Amino acid sequence: MRVLLVGAGGVGAAAAGIAARRDFFDAFVVADHDAARAEKAASGTGDPRFVAARVDASAPEAVAALCREHGITHVLNAVDPRFVMSIFSGAYAAGADYLDMAMSLSSPHPERPYRDCGVKLGDEQFAVADDWAANGRLALVGIGVEPGLSDVFARYAADHLFSRVDEIGVRDGANLVVDGYDFAPTFSIWTTIEECLNPPVVWEADRGWYTTEPFSEPEVFDFPAGIGPVECVNVEHEEVLLIPRWVKARRVTFKYGLGNEFIEVLKTLHKLGLDSTGPVKVGGVSVAPRDVVAACLPDPATLGERMRGKTCAGTLVTGLDRSNQYKSIYLYHVVDNEWSMREYGSQAVVWQTAVNPIVALELLASGTWSGVGVLGPEAFDAVPFLDKLVEYGSPWGIREQ
């Protein structure tokens, strides 16, 4: 296996560090628009299989050329979701398989944005799934932690814990604090705004996919490992689009434990138009307000040393168990920032995202996982993935509610 990693930001650099401890690949090219950042992530592994390259992720032909130059078999996309389609197309053009951690972007329904779906997350990728399958190529989409591990949990629960699944609700929460900042998101603010301000999507068996107002159906979810109760709200997320394609359930939701303060910040950004990705003229220049917001905040990848606490990703499944008893079970994965900083030098949120595509690459390299077309994580057997996660030193947990 010869891997091209596109993106040497927080998640990309963490992925390189995790992969460097494994022997399932022969070459690992770390590419970024910032050559110095790529070089730092590659050389930081101290592993001669890693080399750095510069790439324009917005140009499919540049991605394809880099694949051909290095004989790439698998492209791992670790940049923000604006670049999904260019990297996805570039990998296909070069005959490589493809993995990402976020899918092609949605756009709201032009007339009824808070009721009906417009273009859904991943629609552009699924539109060409037949081409990928016909060419024997695999795009494994949404294989970070959420989407990714959360989808694996859904598949595991359906296969091994339940006889009938009523609701699959992904629940994500943390008690991370960043010392020395009034406000410092622990994950890309660009992506967080995209997720939280787009109309949240819900799936129901008798209705299909539909949308709601942002921040709908608030609930307080009690997270494990000492994190405790956090206010969670519906947000747009890939799991809701992926899980119903492969796992039988009556309802699928995603709720993000944003907490009240973060919700208020996002509402204010939206109210002022500062979430916009369209350029505004300011003096003699044009900028996208959302990029200015991101530029004002510290880079989450650099905050690990100042962070304290844990982050939890998990999937709450309710339905009838194998004995036809009504059950509600939360399958989850917790990363303590102190542990991830000590073991890998990566902060908890980016490490938790980055470990999953490396596990998946290892399962694909061994042939334990295989397939063609555009497939989500729940299209594969969950057990070897969850076992591998334990082998990587990061076990998962299960809690009956």
Q: Which residues bind a copy of itself (CB under 8 A)?
A: 182-183, 264-265, 268-274, 276, 280-283, 285-289, 291-293, 295-297
How far apart are the C-alpha atoms of 116 and 207, rounded to whole Å? 11
Identify the helix (H) or strand (E) that includes residue 2: strand 2-6
Q: At closest approach, how far in Å is the CB of 288 from a copy of itself?
A: 8
End-to-end CA distance of the chain: 42
Please, which residue, 55 or 139, has the CB nearer to a copy of itself?
55
DSSP notation for 52-86: EEE--TT-HHHHHHHHHHHT-SEEEE-S-GGGHHH
Closer residue to a copy of itself, CB minimum distance, 83 or 88: 83
Strand partners, 399: 330
The least CB distance from residue 234 to a copy of itself, in Å, is 20
When the beta carbons of 288 and 383 are compared against a copy of itself, the nearer one is: 288
Residue identified by tokens 């796992």 is 247
Residue 278 Cβ vs a copy of itself, minimum distance, rounded to whole Å: 10
| Dist. CA 103–CA 122, nearest whole Å | 5
CA distance 72 to 87: 13
Provide the minimum distance between the beta carbon of 215 and a copy of itself in the complex, in angstroms, as a whole number.
Answer: 15
Sign (positive/negative) of CA torsion 306, 298, 336, 234?
Answer: positive
Q: How does 142-162 read in b/e, with b if 16+ C-beta sit within 10 Å? A: bbbbbbbbbbbbbbbbbeebb
Residues 6+ apart with CB under 8 A from 298: 178, 181, 184
- Smallest distance from a copy of itself to CB 265, Å: 5
Considering the complex, state which of residue 278 and residue 367 has its C-beta at the smaller distance from a copy of itself.
Answer: 278
Interaxial angle between packed helices 259-271 and 189-197, expressed in degrees from 0 to 180 and rounded to the nearest 10: 80
Nearer to a copy of itself, 288 or 372 (CB): 288
Residue with smaller CB distance to a copy of itself, 185 or 377: 185
- Report the amino acid identity of residue 13: A
Residue 23 C-beta: closest distance to a copy of itself, Å = 39
Minimum CB distance to a copy of itself smaller for 215 or for 369 = 215
C-beta of 58: minimal distance to a copy of itself in Å?
13
